[in-house]
Structure 1
């Protein structure tokens, strides 16, 4: 067995920032919703075969990034705290951390292992703190495989923006790499927020307050968390829909039907009281904030009812609840954050069992020399003990067996994972090859 430390080797560190210097004394104050997400981190790995990486030098990559960060100069700053303790970004052009490495396997060999836990070697797992002024909110890692293929790993502090913003961020780098230019204006830093009007103190269900973490921004889990991923083909999804809805044309979308099944499976294996309330995060098609960074995703609570037993509920009922009965809690979350002037610590992913609908992400729009990624892997670091389920598209251009479908990443307590896999197999979501 090859040891993990020998798979990815020869790491080299540097920094890359804006090609144009930012003026002095420029500061960006994250909004309340940004602060609610500050203990979470997005990890994305893009895999490209050798045709896309041919003649792609580190110098060419960095040259494009100098232009790229002229627009995204805020992401190259470092966090500080105001006198009140509220975090803000000093836009001082310290840059994103840039990591180069080599891999002893070919890209096909890496993907053939189907061991997504190894993907943690392809993007940085660094978090903000414990020294804020030395912690970059963005880290980029290029790994060259033995065959000439590459991976690009993005480590993105969620306080900068949601997953949909992160996908636009990385895709804009691809546009510069392809000499397409950017039709956008650089982000205008937010000023210190005005104190909000005090309303009724209604604590959100979808964001959980925790004891202060200080300057080390990571969720303190009480359980050891594990990550597991699997691919669902279109045939499997069609079979799932048929199981739930029969011949009826009045079906919920695949995301809600899939999450209903997973919700019930988790309820069956969870030793403590079953998860009667879940959180659903998804793209907001009506977002009013046009900033190029920021957290705009919809965050809804869905309550199964105190007297209902999730294990015994009809999947059609659960799926319909997920689609139609979510209550948007963003305003309550913002009010809870501002109640303490942005100083208190909260987390969202894993406060309840959390389902994240990533159908609207466009990570597969990233192109190098006209080639889209062979595969994109996503996960979230800093998920609370209740766990999170990410559902995102399988590459439509994939020619492997001519299948598409969805890819699912589950971050759940390690103690539940074995029994949950058995439940997924029983219900046709997991096949032997996974």
Structure 2
């Protein structure tokens, strides 16, 4: 057991905002999909070796941020509510919260610990509320390690945008650090959405979003179960073995993501015997998203229903994998219409409404660069996941963790009482090795 107090220390707080004043009476109005995600938070930690962090002072970092936040000024605003109760952002340049800290371990020593809940020490887990006007939607943490390397932790309120939006946000900071200028942001601020008159209202709530009792101004869902986080690396050889298990010598294979999720789906169904797990949600980047439309929630949100007569625990993995590829129904339009029907006041959550698989393959995870260096490792997790849980899958570059080969990295946020049995299932199926 690692003592948390001894790991990260000398914590300092400040704020950083745009170098250029935004102006008075500028407001950004999140759309229906944004509001459906308002109880979720994306947490990302980028690790950079000493070569990338050399001569990188806090002053240099902040000076770049003044320029970076000019096009991203809405991330420095604060939430308010309209007379109807609908949330909006007042773009008042209050700034993002900036956190400085030190760690008494090297980056490689930290990564070797594999105590995933400890990553909360490298990125803020503050949520929005209970006082909206004092809650920054973005918090950034720079932690210096004993070896001279650093980590950059970003806490991103999901109401601002999907994982691709968060990734492009951070990549834009890297461009500013390299004197290449910030990326243009063309779709903010947004006016209040106009709901079409005469359109039929949704007859029932979408399966991929769960309506809950109002959380008021403290934006985090209340779990009925204690949730736990566990992460593990899958090497290329393990992924090849998985594909061979499912498809044999056939060349007609589904992509790795769907094959991996099929295995995780079935393993979890075996752990949850007696409970329904016939519907899952798959979230991924929309391949048709506009190049400059980089703020907002535009990711695909697809329900996959196996049918009540299907026993997931006994279903062939190839059948489950093909379901994930072919039978997903995008519910974004229905979610948006349902939220707008209630004028954006009702509270919903998406991650964990069903068991949720989040594909981060196309989110440019490793495109943030410092002095031409990519991160050694990038860690993703979520806060605000509902009781059904969520699984994040994203790429892992060569040599990022203990010099292993490239592959995938998996982060699971699931009920704590399921983790032990699930790990046993994963080991039985070759997904989890003893050193994980």
Question: In which range does the TM-score fall when normalised by the shorter chain?
Answer: over 0.9
Shift of 1:115: 1.6
Name the structure 2 match of 1:130: 130
- CA distance 1:345–1:77, change in 2 (3 Å): same
SS at match of 1:88: strand
Matched, 1:11 2:11: yes
Partner Cα distance (2:332, 2:183) in 1: 30
The corresponding residue for 2:211 is: 209
- Is the CA contact (8 Å cut-off) linking 1:15 and 1:95 kept in structure 2? yes
Shift of 1:393: 0.2
User: Which structure 1 residue ranges, 5 or more long, are not aligned?
Assistant: none
Aligned to 1:369: 371
Unaligned segments of structure 2, at least 5 residues: none
TM-superposed CA distance for 1:117, in Å, is 1.6
| C-alpha displacement of 1:289 | 8.3
Displacement of 1:395 in angstroms is 1.5
| TM-score, with structure 2 as normaliser | 0.97
* SS state at 2:127 partner: coil
CA contact (8 A) 1:70 1:186 kept: no
Q: Deviations over 1:162-192 (max 9, x none)?
A: 0011000000000100111235246531111
Aligned to 1:94: 94
Q: Tell me the secondary structure at the aligned position of residue 386 of structure 2.
A: coil
CA 1:220–1:433 in structure 2 vs 1: closer, same or farther (change >3 Å)?
A: same
What secondary structure is seen at the aligned counterpart in 2 of 1:160? Answer: coil
Per-residue deviation, 1:397: 6.3
Which SS does the other structure have where 2:15 is aligned?
Answer: strand
Aligned-partner Cα distance in 2 for 1:252–1:325: 13
Cross-structure match for 1:233: 235
Q: Is the 8 A contact 1:50 1:149 kept in 2?
A: yes
SS at match of 1:71: coil
Flag the 1:87–1:428 CA change in 2: closer, same or farther, 3 A: same
- Kept in 1: contact 2:67–2:182 (CA 8 A): no
Q: Are 1:105 and 2:105 counterparts?
A: yes
1:344-373 Cα shifts (integer Å, max 9, x gaps):
000000000000111101121111111110
1:314-363 C-alpha deviation (Å, 9 max, x unpaired):
10000000011100000110111011000000000000000011110112
Moved more, 376-385 or 192-201: 192-201
Q: Identify the residue that residue 59 of structure 1 maps to in structure 2.
A: 59
TM-score normalised by the chain length of structure 1? 0.98
Aligned to 1:306: 308
* SS across alignment from 2:325: helix
**Separation in 1 of the partners of 2:271 and 2:401?**
36
Contact 2:211 2:347 in 1 (8 A): yes
Contact 2:211 2:346 in 1 (8 A): yes
Q: CA contact under 8 A between 1:268 and 1:274: conserved in structure 2? A: no
Q: Which residue of 1 aligns with 2:165?
A: 165
Residue in 1 that maps onto 2:429: 427
RMSD, aligned CA:
1.3
Residues 1:182 and 2:182 are matched in the alignment:
yes
Deviates more, 1:191-200 or 1:153-162: 191-200
Q: Specify whether residues 251 and 295 from structure 1 end up closer, same or farther in structure 2 by C-alpha distance, changes over 3 A only.
A: same
| Alpha-carbon distance between aligned partners in 2 of 1:182 and 1:216, rounded to the nearest angstrom | 32
1:360 alignment partner in structure 2? 362
| Secondary structure of 1:159 counterpart | coil
Change (3 A) 1:402 1:417: closer
Alignment partner, residue 147 of structure 1 = 147
Within 5 Å, give how 1:238-317 maps onto structure 2: 238-288=240-290, 290-317=292-319
Aligned length: 434
Q: 1:399/1:274 Cα in 2 relative to 1: closer, same or farther (>3 Å)?
A: closer
> Match for residue 27 of structure 2?
27
Aligned equivalents of 1:21, 1:309: Cα separation in 2: 58
Alignment match, 1:218 = 220
- 1:270 deviation in Å? 1.1
Whole-angstrom distance in 2 between the partners of 1:248 and 1:214: 53
The residue aligned with 1:333 is 335
CA deviation after TM superposition for structure 1 residue 261, in Å: 0.4
- Determine which of 351, 372, 380 is the counterpart of 1:349: 351
Q: Distance in 2 between matches of 1:362 and 1:116?
A: 22
**Distance change in 2, residues 1:314/1:176 (3 Å):** same
1:323 corresponds to which residue? 325
What's the offset of the Cα at 1:292? 2.7
d(CA) in 2 for partners of 1:3 and 1:402?
A: 27
- Alpha carbons 1:274, 1:310 under 8 Å: kept: no
Query: For residues 80 and 317 of structure 1, do their structure 2 counterparts lie closer, same or farther at Cα, with a shift above 3 Å needed?
Result: same
